Structure 1
């Protein structure tokens, strides 16, 4: 016998439900399209009901960040520290790629807050724990956290930004003059194979470049750990 929808027990509204719905809406339409009214409509409640669980937009965004950080793979026991750090950083990067709006939100909220959100703090604490368990001194861990920076959360801040699709700069110097004045830069630009989908620049494979830099950092930290 089919149960009438109105007779079904209603799922209580909770902070977790609100945050999950907000993340889904941001995935669908971008963070600019997110509003309390849209979240309420998705959950079948009035907007004011949300404020019992989320005080304001900033608290909503902080909670969404914690949901995303919760998607990062947990630490794996019984493996080398370098492999452990690498796995989690690449998992964090996959999380950012699944949620294209997340990078801007995480960066803006990290700058706005005096301390990171609870989930970010827990993540960073666990990463420090991997370094310490791998034989790093507290001082060397401090340097490691600085050198890796936002890459720990999957970010890559690149010098060469993608220019595909942009209008040519009318003030740009002719290619011949560019080659004469900046021969090494021109040589590099002309040598690489083109990847039009790259966000780090024509000729760059995003994931390859990210992992290349990550491995350089980890190899360098390994040498410092052994020397200490």
Structure 2
């Protein structure tokens, strides 16, 4: 092994490439290090351990989602951006379409998003954008976290089902539109206090 300076981004990129090619079971500190031509010890300062690798993999998947540009800086910035364009439906639909695209691109890795929470700072932008959209819809602050979990569980489930072939033979866009309209009505009901 050659001594090399590697970055956290290189470690996460190598982890994503390895997982996409060989599956989650192939992701080990040793395998990622071999891909980068460094010793496994060289990874520890960037990710800590295998759990850190998996958290980084979630981050890499989440980074592929299209979110409002302001979402990368702070929740307040997202609120400001949505305040100027309060179309919370368009924001949530855009995120849902992006999640579906990631699920189709990585159908074998996507279930990781059900198994692990997005804990790294780099994985938080989509969640913060959803919180901002729900606030723009009028969802009360005490209900935001529950509403976000309900929404993300539904969207991730729809995306995983689509990517896994569960909806084969159906008009998937009609199915998505049907679901999106009903989810929007539920969000409106929560905002109106009718939940």
In which range does the TM-score fall when normalised by the shorter chain? 0.7 to 0.9
TM-score with structure 1 length normalisation? 0.63
Q: Which residue of 2 aligns with 1:156?
A: 158
1:131 aligned to 2:134? yes
| Residues in 1 aligned to 2:145 and 2:7: alpha-carbon distance in whole angstroms | 38
Q: Which residue of 2 aligns with 1:13?
A: 6
Superposition map of 1:34-113 within 5 A: 34-75=27-68, 77=81, 78=85, 80-110=87-117
Structure 2 alignment gaps of length 5 or more: 70-80
Once superposed, what is the RMSD of the aligned Cα atoms? 3.3
Deviation of the 1:54 alpha carbon: 2.0
What do residues 127-168 of structure 1 show as CA deviations (whole Å, max 9, x unaligned)? 11112124333356456335424135x33289xx89xxxxxx
Query: Secondary structure, in 3 states, of the residue corresponding to 2:111?
Result: helix
Deviation of the 1:88 alpha carbon: 1.0
> Is the CA contact (8 Å cut-off) linking 1:75 and 1:88 kept in structure 2?
no
| Residues in 1 aligned to 2:27 and 2:41: alpha-carbon distance in whole angstroms | 16
The structure with the larger Rg is 1
Change (3 A) 1:29 1:208: farther
Structure 1 alignment gaps of length 5 or more: 1-9, 163-196
Change (3 A) 1:199 1:14: same
| Residues in 2 aligned to 1:15 and 1:142: alpha-carbon distance in whole angstroms | 30
**Which structure is richer in relative contact order (CA contacts within 8 A, separation 6 or more)?**
2
